[in-house]
Amino acid sequence: MDIRLLQSSDLPLIQHANLENLPENYFLKYYLYHAMTWPQLSYVAVDVSRPQKTPYDQPKIVGYVLAKMEEEPADGVQHGHITSLSVMRTHRRLGIAEKLMRQAQLAMVETFGAHYVSLHVRVSNRAAIHLYCDTLGFRNEKTESKYYADGEDAYGMRLELSEIR
């Protein structure tokens, strides 16, 4: 498995993975905005074990993290934000999401001097909550009522990046 920076040519595959894995979906131009504005922050996981039968065969993208810097932070503190993260069902519980997150977090610090990283997650999403809280050390800052379009609440989470600064 290779973890590498997201390229613009990956975007249709990322959009496809997002549609497969999450109810929060975006127009292609929003992915493009991330790729053009913060090209250092978003990563993909590529399954390189699949044999390339023709020169036109693309390696399969099995996970992505789409990340950005907060453009006008309300608290005035430079910080990153995870817009979307997902791993295809066939490749879950192999540590891919953890690797993608750690790469994005490191890049936020190294490139933009981020002090912390934030994200939202559905209160029912046990797998992601385990990853964020137990594996990566995020803490729940506040519960945002009816944050999602279907009325579900979100945990607003945050991880201080001081240790890797």
Copy the structure tokens of residue 106. 């490191």
Considering only the stretches 49-57, 105-113, 119-127, 142-150, report the one whose residues sit in contact with ligand ACO under the rule CB under 6 A: 119-127
98 belongs to the binding site for ligand ACO (CB under 6 A): yes
Residue 122: HSE in the Cβ half-sphere, 13 Å Cα cutoff:
14
Copy the structure tokens of residue 1. 């498995």
Q: How far is the CB of 85 from ligand ACO (least distance, A)?
A: 4
Out of 51, 55, 90, 93, name the contact with ligand ACO by CB under 6 A: 93
Alpha helices, H only, 22-95: 28-37
Return the amino acid letter for 145: S
128 belongs to the binding site for ligand ACO (CB under 6 A): yes
Copy the structure tokens of residue 47. 């399954």
> Which residues of the chain form contacts with ligand ACO (CB under 6 A)?
21-22, 82, 84-87, 92-98, 119, 121, 125-128, 130-131, 134-135
